[in-house]
Structure 1
Amino acid sequence: MLQAESQRHSRSWSIARRLFGISLLLILVQAMGSSVVTTQLRRHFFHEFLENTLSRQIVSSYNVISDRLDQLSVEEAYACCSLEDYRNWLDGLSFENGKVGLIIGEAGLQATRDADRFYKTSELSGYAKETIASVSGFKINASDNEAPLAVKAVKLPGGPETGFYVYMRPVYSMPLVRTLVQIKMVSELVLMLLLALALLVSLRLIFRPVRRIQSELSGIELNHLERADLSSRDRPREFQPLLQEFNAMVERLRRSSADQKQFASTISHEFRTPMTVISGFIQSVLNRDNDLRRQSRDALILANQEVLRLNRMLSDLLDLSRADNNQLKLRQEPFDCLKSLHDSFNLAKITHPNNNFSLHVHSDASPIWAIGDVDRLTQCLHNLVGNAVKYSAENSTIELHLNQHEGNIVISVVDHGQGIPEDQHEIIFQRFQRAEGVILHRGDSSSGLGLSIVQTLMKGMGGNVHVESHIGIGSRFVLTLQQTEI
């Protein structure tokens, strides 16, 4: 048993651990993806693309300076190079929006016009020397307080005295850098959306057992507790105690229900025989003794009526107990429901002579065949007619109707009594329940089982029963059975 318990727990899993693990994994993947994307974009745009861009932009001004160097005479070449020479080579070159060109060499540093508006000489010298010292001759100089500068340095023709031509421009003025920022933001947003989607899918997969348990719980019926156990196999470990407690509760309910059903069945069986004996004895006394005083005879008649009522109640309890245990046997065979209705009509007139009964058959067919149990249909009609008599005034008319509708036989019992409140239409079909606010005649009583028996029998025959009622107008109880042809 311990081994089985160990195996069962080994097949369970922790929903909390899975949720934590998946969330952590997704966060790490998102962070790594964002870092890789950012690094690659920065490397590509800030280095490769900007370097190529500056290499193209520096060509025209570099060619101007190179041409001017080529035009130097021999004497000028020997006398080269001074800051005045640098200034002459840069003469006419002009840049905007913070772009600067400069020559730096043995003679010093000379920048293009208006360079001092944007940068100090020391700053220009520092940027130029750092770029010249780099392997590629390209560098991005950035600080927290200043906009980044892209700097490109190219050696001018000649010896070291001619120096380097350096071209620089602010990076923020480039539309491509703004595009870079937008791409970065969009990429991170997409990654976050993908993360949220992946997390949502993961959570749906993780909580699938919860939905499965919910579905199983919604399918449990009180009368079928033998199928109410919930399997704990392959369920989250957090649910194991809950499932065990639920199954234990179901077992307790099952035992309690079985005890109640057994009690009702036993009581019904054990009481019916003495009730029959008592009723028979009272009938014998009433039939053979003509010398009874009127008061004694009335008392015996009342006692016999109560015995018969109790016997009917026991029969109803026994039928309900059998239905609960799936032991109620109902025939499913064709029968002439028109004949059954006529028999019930004639029986009602004999049983209740103080009421008026009318029969209305809304069909020219004869016989009219239905599927079910003819004896149980008679029992249902007897119960409905009895209720109609109880809740109607004396001499009132009680109607029995038969219709054919969409392949069904529809039988209605209509009274013109007190009526039933609309909020009580479902309750009256429950066991031991009566409609509130409805008054019985003096001397009448109700066990609250009759309509429950009718509903149980009609469902067992594949039909149904419902009520249509209005206060002060009356009630219509409708029985529906499947029609057939022979």
Structure 2
Amino acid sequence: MIVAQSGISLAISGALWENFTSRFLGSVLSRQILSPLNLVDNKLDLLSAQEAMECCTKDDYRNFLAGIHLADGKAVMISGSAGLVAGKGAQALYDSARLREFARLATESQNRFALVDFRSDDAVAVKSVNLSGGSETGSLIYIRPIYSMSLFNALSRARLISEIVLMLSLVVLLAVALTYILRPLRSVRSRISKVQLNNLDTALIPLDGQPLELQPILMEFNRMVSRLEISAQNQKQFASTISHEFRTPLTVISGFIQSVLNRADNLDVNYRESLLIADKEAFRLNRMLSDLLDLSRADNNQLKVLREPFDCLLSCHEAIRLTQFAFPDNRIIFSDASHVDPLMAIGDSDCLVKCLENLIGNAVKYSEKSSTINLHINGDDRCIYFNVQDHGQGIPLDQCDLIFERFQRAEGVSLRRGDSSSGLGLSIVKMLMESMGGSVGVQSEVGVGSCFTLTLQRSDV
């Protein structure tokens, strides 16, 4: 609408400008034509009666125009019964067809004035006046280029500037109008972009103050959020219940298996091997349920992660002890480059142990059975870094971000025979590290290995 209004305004402005120009130049040319007109009329007055009766031929017209000298593109010509004769200036500036067009427009116009090619740089104003001898004598036609006039140029520049100011004003008005119109949409988009599974209870958008056009859409959005919240709560409750309910029988099963293995000295080798496999699978399933429970607690904002000073060396030693027991076939080596005991970090000791367990467990799964896994710790004045290095298959570069998402595994990477992965381990690590105010990252090269780095803030305590 604003653009259409701008076009209409410019069209009206152009029409008014042309009307003003016509009136202004008509007055100017009416004054300026008097000088050449007087010269021609004086020559007509000097004709004898016989010459006046025989007048006028083209030679007479040339004689009348001979003493008229004009500058700045101005020109005169005479059009009468003998035809059209142009002055020297007119012949040099315009061809005969164009001069005939000027004469026709000027003589046929009601006020004997015409603007020709007004919208172009070659625009001219033409004024026609009858000579004193009557219609048989003819008309004097005065031609003047418009844009050679200093006043007209000044007016043209003023008009151009005014149109530019008008367009800029309309653009500013359009920008302000769009800003005002789109402000509610931007606000709604911002709120929608922040909706997450764990903040659905605050995702509802109030309808008060919203434009009437948006309210039906926002009402449907709020209904959708309510449905999603119910579904999410049911899903979270299901995961939490399953995790709790399964852990108790798994603990009992694992306890009985351990009891049989520890007390049955004369157990058959095949039976013992089967029980060891069952115990390992029970342990793996128990860890998977523990991961699901942690994720469920995090989704329900019930996961409690401490942010307090703790000795991270003790956590590293505990993680090494647990993983060496779980993976006896691999060499897991711990090296400390800090040479500081204790080494204090900000976070949660149990969470760091779990993160290191997950990283070392992954390193074992994706490496050769007898390969070495290195845990290296170092730091600077601000942070402490825990590096878990393996010499396994490596991860493609385009998969390095994907592996930290839930239930995702890197494509083209295979587990050792007999091992399995739920795709939860690294998402658990990322969630726990971010809850402690830290981070996790990876550097990897296919066929060489991977190095996962945990970063925690250093404590001065």
TM-score, normalised to structure 1, is 0.71
- Counterpart of 2:195? 220
Aligned match of 1:378? 353
Q: Give the counterpart letter for 2:286 in structure 1.
A: N
**One-letter amino acid of the counterpart of residue 439, structure 2:** N
Instruction: Specify the alignment match of 2:96 in structure 1.
Output: none
Whether the 8 Å CA contact 1:332–1:461 is kept in 2: the answer is: yes
Q: Secondary structure at the match of 1:477?
A: strand
Answer yes or no: is the 8 Å Cα contact 1:313–1:447 preserved in 2: yes
Check conservation: 1:30, 1:192, Cα contact below 8 A.
no
Q: Residues 190-241 of structure 1, C-alpha deviation per residue, up to 9 Å, x if partnerless?
A: 8499559736852644445444444444333344333434455555655444
Q: 1:52 aligns with which of 22, 26, 31?
A: 31
2:21 counterpart of 1:41: yes
Which whole-Å deviations, capped at 9, do the CAs of 1:145-183 have from their partners, x for residues lacking one? xx985245799xxxxxx999x995435x31227877998
- 1:33 maps to a residue whose letter is S
For the 8 Å contact 2:113–2:125, the answer to whether it is kept is yes
Change beyond 3 A, Cα 1:213–1:191: farther
Query: For residues 41 and 143 of structure 1, what CA distance do their matches in structure 2 show?
Result: 9
Q: Distance in 2 between matches of 1:358 and 1:301?
A: 25
Between the aligned partners of 1:236 and 1:168, the Cα distance in structure 2 is 70
Structure with greater Cα Rg: 1
**Cα distance change of structure 1 residues 84 and 426 upon mapping to structure 2, 3 Å threshold:** closer
For residue 336 of structure 1, the aligned residue among 302, 311, 319 is 311
Counterpart in the other structure of 1:150: 127
Q: Is the 8 A contact 1:420 1:469 kept in 2?
A: yes
Q: Which of 12, 16, 21 matches 1:32?
A: 12
Task: Kindly indicate whether residue 284 of structure 2 is the aligned counterpart of residue 309 of structure 1.
Answer: yes
Q: Which residue of 1 aligns with 2:112?
A: 140
Contact in 1 for aligned 2:129/2:141 (Cα 8 Å): no
- Relative distance call for 1:188 and 1:240 in structure 2 (3 A) is farther
Q: Secondary structure at the match of 1:265?
A: helix
How many residues matched? 418
Residue matched to 1:174: 144
Tell me, yes or no, if structure 1 residue 447 matches structure 2 residue 427: no
Residue 198 (structure 1) aligned with residue 170 (structure 2): yes
| Larger mean Cα displacement after TM superposition, 474-483 or 333-342 | 333-342
* 1:298 maps onto 2:273 in alignment: yes
**Cα offset for 1:116?**
4.7
Aligned match for 1:278, one of 253, 262, 274: 253
> For 2:112, what is the secondary structure of its paired residue?
strand
C-alpha contact (below 8 Å) 1:140/1:148 kept by paired residues: no
**1:481 to partner: Cα distance:** 0.9
* Aligned equivalents of 2:250, 2:312: Cα separation in 1: 33
Distance 1:28 1:116 in 2: 44
Structure 1 position 261, deviation (Å) = 1.0
- Cα root mean square deviation, aligned: 4.4
CA distance in 2, matches of 1:54, 1:183: 22
Contact between 1:334 and 1:369, CA under 8 Å: does it hold in 2?
yes
Q: Aligned-pair distance for 1:312?
A: 1.5
Cα separation, 1, equivalents of 2:372 and 2:276 = 27
1:376 CA drift (Å) = 0.6
2 CA distance for matches of 1:398 and 1:270?
Answer: 35
State which drifts further: 181-190 or 33-42. Answer: 181-190
Query: Partners in 2 of 1:149 and 1:355 — Cα distance?
Result: 104
Alignment-mate amino acid for residue 21 of structure 2? L
Query: What is the SS of the residue equivalent to 1:433?
Result: coil
**Kept after mapping to 2: 8 A contact 1:322/1:328:** yes
C-alpha contact (below 8 Å) 1:469/1:476 kept by paired residues: yes
The Cα of 1:270 is off from its aligned counterpart by 2.0
Change (3 A) 1:99 1:244: same
Percent same amino acid among aligned pairs?
42
Q: Is the 8 A contact 1:419 1:470 kept in 2?
A: yes
Instruction: Name the SS of the counterpart of 2:16 in structure 1.
Output: helix
Partner of 1:414: 389
Q: TM-score, normalised by structure 2?
A: 0.74
Q: Which residue of 2 aligns with 1:324?
A: 299
The DSSP-based 3-state class of the residue aligned with 1:269 is helix
Q: Which structure ranks higher in relative contact order (CA pairs < 8 Å, sequence separation ≥ 6)? A: 1
Q: Which residue of 1 aligns with 2:65?
A: 94
* Cα offset, 1:459, TM superposition: 0.8
Looking at structure 2, the residues matched to 235 and 24 of structure 1 have their Cα atoms a distance apart, in angstroms, of 28
For the residues of structure 1 that align with 2:113 and 2:399, how far apart are their CA atoms?
A: 86
Distance 2:315 2:386 in 1: 11
Aligned with 2:431 (options 444, 456, 461): 456
- Identify the residue that residue 371 of structure 2 maps to in structure 1: 396
CA distance, structure 2, for counterparts of residue 182 and residue 378 of structure 1: 83
Secondary structure in structure 2 of the residue aligned to 1:419:
coil
